[in-house]
Amino acid sequence: MTTTTNPGVSMSGHTATAEPYAPSRRSSRFALTGLALVYLVLGIPTLVVLIVVTVAIPLGVLGIGLAVLAAFVPFLRQLANVHRYFATQVLRTTVPSPYHERESSGVNVVVKDWARDPARWRDLGWSYVSVTVGWFLSWIPVGLLLGVVWFLIFPFIYWVTPKGVFDMSWRIVQVHDVASSFSMWVAAGLCALVWWVITPPVSRLRARMDLALLAPTRGELERRLVEVSASRSETIDHSAAELRRIERDLHDGAQARLVSLGMSLGLAEQLMRTDPEAAVRLIEEARSTTTSALGDLRSVVRGIHPPVLADRGLVGATQALALDIAVPTSFSAVVPGRAPEPVESAMYFAVAEALANVVKHARATAASVELSYDGERLRAVVADNGQGGADPAAGTGLTGVGRRLAAFDGTMVVESPHGGPTVVTMELPCALSSPKTSPSSGTA
């Protein structure tokens, strides 16, 4: 069983990629021409990937080309991301990532997920247009600027080459010696004028063409808006439930003990003159009640934001979770720096819930926790060798984990066939605050 949970998708996101592309100042004509040259260079790998993917798709239906698709489809996405970024810079706009964030394991599952994503098919259609119409449009400013350079240096070229090689006898242009070769500067001026006028509109046309094929459609944006609204509603409900839980814990725990403490101290005060021994016993009970009340308060605080998370960060706090559970659990982490505090808290409680499920339901004899960061997304993988069959819809607590992650535009993938093993992969898009790498590993 493989279940992917992503109730909410942010309109302004993170990527490969959900972050919007920030606009920059309007580019000069030289910058636009340089961008056109970059397009020409990128056309070569785009053409190669296009050919490979086109050939691999029919083979993939037969089960032969799946590995090729798994390798080249992400490469096509990166090429599309680069062109999408350039287009937003030229048009000074922002575009959310159009892709469905499904991070599954196994080549078959991954390729099937991609096949259901309209954005992947638009990438393929865009690649056909990019290596044909797009390539032609990119040649226009580059060719004109090369023409300007050629006509400017033409007199020198004519002078250093053997006589007669570049002689011309056209109706308007007559070149038969070094002096007449300077007439080509007129052509250089005409090319420069055309280049100056035509480069911005051609660049904008190329950018609009790219975004028309690579940006999310209106239907997709409306669907995401519905998902965001649903996720926001679930998050609000979850927050309200958390507040009620904290209120209940304080009322039934610490508050009740503090009331009892006040009554005990009041009785001790009354008995101090008449029965000192009874007063001493009441004071001892009050001291015990104080210790219990402090324990209740610490428990509530740990439920809000565990002190170990603030002191040791996500890596240390998660390692402490792995050390505390009854099932032997290996732990490894390579996380360069600290994530934002809300992200760390969300991931910590998600891992805690996943480990709690291992203890309660999995009947496992071994488990593992892995933390990693790929430059864009913080990933936690909790696995066990138990009986499998975990389903977020079955009320095992995984639904709440998915909801917690969705509030941060995160995803959760549960792979749990009957008979095991179970692998829960949780991801949150974020940026880390420090380049320092803090790896650690061990066995709990």
**Virtual torsion, Cα 250, 254, 255, 256, nearest 10 deg:** 120
Domain's final residue, options 270, 304, 338? 304
* Residues 231 and 362 placed together within one structural domain of the fold: no
Mean of the pLDDT values across residues 225-235? 60
The encoded tokens of residue 173 equal: 């242009």
pLDDT for the residue numbered 440: 44
Q: Do 39 and 161 have their domain in common?
A: yes
Contacts of 50 (CB under 8 A, 6+ apart): 76, 124, 127, 128, 131
State whether 98 and 52 are in the same domain. Answer: yes
Domain stops at, among 279, 304, 329: 304
Torsion of CA 188, 196, 23, 94, to 10 degrees: -110
Instruction: Specify the higher pLDDT residue, 87 or 27.
Output: 87
Same domain, 140 and 167: yes
User: Residue 270's domain is classified under what CATH number?
Assistant: 1.20.5
Strand order of the sheet with strand 367-373?
Answer: 2-5, 411-415, 422-429, 377-384, 367-373, 329-334, 440-443
pLDDT at 414 over 70: yes
Average pLDDT score over residue span 105-131: 77
Check whether residue 109 and residue 234 sit in a common domain: no
Q: At what angle do helices 29-61 and 118-129 cross, to 10 degrees?
A: 120
Give me 227's structure tokens.
Answer: 């998902």
Q: Is the peptide bond before 7 cis (omega within 30 degrees of 0)?
A: no
**Residues contacting 255, CB < 8 A, separation 6+:** none
What average pLDDT does this structure show over 291-316? 70
Q: Of the candidates 20, 21, 9, 19, which has an alpha carbon nearest to the alpha carbon of residue 101?
A: 9
Out of 240, 269, 304, pick the residue that ends a domain. Answer: 304
For the segment 292-308, the average pLDDT, to the nearest whole number, is 64
Range of the domain at 269: 220-304
Rounded CA separation 211/147 (Å): 30
pLDDT at 397 over 50: yes
pLDDT tens digit sequence for 169-215: 666 666 677 777 787 888 888 999 999 999 999 999 999 999 888 88
Highest mean pLDDT among 33-42, 237-246, 273-282: 33-42
Asked if residue 123 has pLDDT above 80, the reply is: yes
Q: Is there a contact between 428 and 377 (Cβ–Cβ < 8 Å)?
A: yes
Say how many domains are in the chain: 3
Q: Mean pLDDT over residues 392-399, rounded?
A: 66
Contacts of 242 (CB under 8 A, 6+ apart): none
Cα–Cα dist 333/382, whole Å: 12
418-433: pLDDT as tens digits: 887 888 888 888 888 7
Do 329 and 227 sit in the same domain of this protein?
no
Residues 162 and 296 in one domain: no
Task: List the CATH number of the domain containing 338.
Answer: 3.30.565.10
Cα distance between residue 93 and residue 246, in whole Å: 44
Better pLDDT: 220 or 169: 169
Q: Which residues of 171-193 are buried (b: 16+ CB within 10 A; e: fewer)?
A: eeeebeeeeebebbeebbeebbe
- 205 shares a domain with 77: yes
Distance CA 76, CA 72 (A): 6
* Alpha carbons 24 and 33: distance in angstroms, whole number: 17
Q: 217 or 359: whose pLDDT is higher?
A: 359
253 and 362 in a single domain? The answer is: no
Residue-level length of the chain: 444
Whether 199 and 276 map to the same domain: the answer is no
Q: Which of 42, 24, 23, 15 is nearest to 98 (CA)?
A: 15
Tell me: pLDDT of 106 over 60: no
* Residue 17 pLDDT: 36
